[in-house]
Every structure is written in C-alpha cells, then in structure tokens.
Amino acid sequence: MLLWLLSSSLESESGFADVQNWLAAPLVKVVVWGILAGLLYHLIAGVKHLAMDMGIGETLEGAKTGAKLVVVISVIAIVLAGVWLW
Amino acid sequence: MVKNVTSFGRSGVSEWVVQRVSAAILGLYFVGLLAYMLLSPELSYAEWKALFSATWMRLASIAALLALCAHAWIGMWTVATDYLTEGLLGPKGTFIRFLFQAACVLLIFVYLVWGVQILWGL
C-alpha cells in the first residue's frame, strides 16, 4: 500500500495528483490511518524495548509503568495521526 | 524445541543484534520522513521528487528497505516459531510453518525488488 503510494507519487505530476485524490477518499484515509496506528504503536513499543535492552525499566514496577506509558503515548500519537489525515 | 533454521547463524545472538539495528534504522528513517512531511504542508511534486532523487535520500531509503526486509523476516520468523509449531498444531505444524515462512520470504522479496525499482527508476 505504502509502496504503491510512493511509486505513484514519484512517477509523474499526474501520479502525484492521483495520490492526493486517493488520500482525499475517506476509505483510503481509514486504511492509511490503520497502517499508521499499527506502525506508531510498534515504533513506540519498540523504543521501550530498546530502553529495556539498555537496562531501563527492567524491574516489575518499571515494566508496568513502561507498558502504561507506551499505551498512553501510542493513543496520543494515533489520535494526532487521525487529526493529520482528516 | 522447534527446529530453528534461521538464515543467519546457529545461535540467536546475530538475530537479536540485527533486529535492534534494523529497528533503529527504520525508526530514524520513519521519524525523519514524518517530520519532513509535517514541516512541508504544501508539498509539491517537484519538491517530493527532488527529495527522493537526492543521493543521500536514495541511500537512506535503500538502507531502510534492507533493514525492513531483515526486521520483517526476523519478526515473522519469531512469530512463526512461537505459534506455528507441532506442539500447537499437531504433526502438520512444521509443514504449515514452512509454508508460512516461504510466503513471508516471497512477499519480502517482492517488496525489496519493487522498492529498489521505485528508487532506482527515478
């Protein structure tokens, strides 16, 4: 999906315009939002993993707060992505 | 124990490292691209094309693409060897996992070739 958008947007002026039109369609926005949501959550949880690899937040309490933080930050990021798309 | 045939080596250490390194590359690339898009609201075709034509961006994109292939493969291998096992699925478990992993390899290869073609063909 993302490769398709990239390919079309780089191909030509009209390809770029096509992508802009596609992105205007509500259904496409929902799909892109879904992809972004998954990616944002994965990214944020991944950063937490990297932190834990460095020894940050490895205790039971640390892990709990880490998990809550990931969820809260992810929700905020995903909502912002929605605002950006709409 | 699952017959852990991975593409890198006997122990899982190299996968562990590659997974983190590829994650860092992908994280930087994604955040950077997102920042670029957020900071240029009225993005024009010329500007977008110029970005991806720049050598440094092409190299960064190829690096991200390769990192994505490695990251996705290790991630999917990890999932497959956790869930698609004979313990959970019975005798045909290994065969199902094999099909799943073959499909993953094929899909990753398609994305790699397609991605390179997009970046190469500019």
DSSP code per residue over A1-65: -HHHHHHHHHH-HHHHHHHHHHHHSHHHHHHHHHHHHHHHHHHHHHHHHHHHHTTTT-SHHHHHH
Of B23, B49, B115, the CB nearest to A46: B23
Name the residue ranges covered by the structural domains of chain A: 26-85
Percent over 90 (pLDDT), chain B? 70
Of B20, B115, B122, the CB nearest to A50: B20
Distances (CA, A) of A78 to A18, A83, B30, B96: 25, 9, 15, 34
Answer yes or no: is pLDDT of B32 > 90: yes
- Output the pLDDT for position B8: 58
Chain A nearest CA to B21, separation (Å): 10
Which amino acid makes up residue B21?
A: V
- Output the pLDDT for position B87: 87
Q: Is the ipTM of this complex over 0.90?
A: no
Contact across the interface for B27 and A46, Cβ inside 8 Å: yes
Chain B nearest CA to A66, separation (Å): 18
Q: How confident is the model at residue B2 (pLDDT cuts 50, 70, 90)?
A: low
Percent over 90 (pLDDT), chain A? 69
Top-tier CATH class for A26-85: mainly alpha
Pick the residue of A16, A20, A41 with the most B CBs within 10 A to test the interface with B by mutation: A16
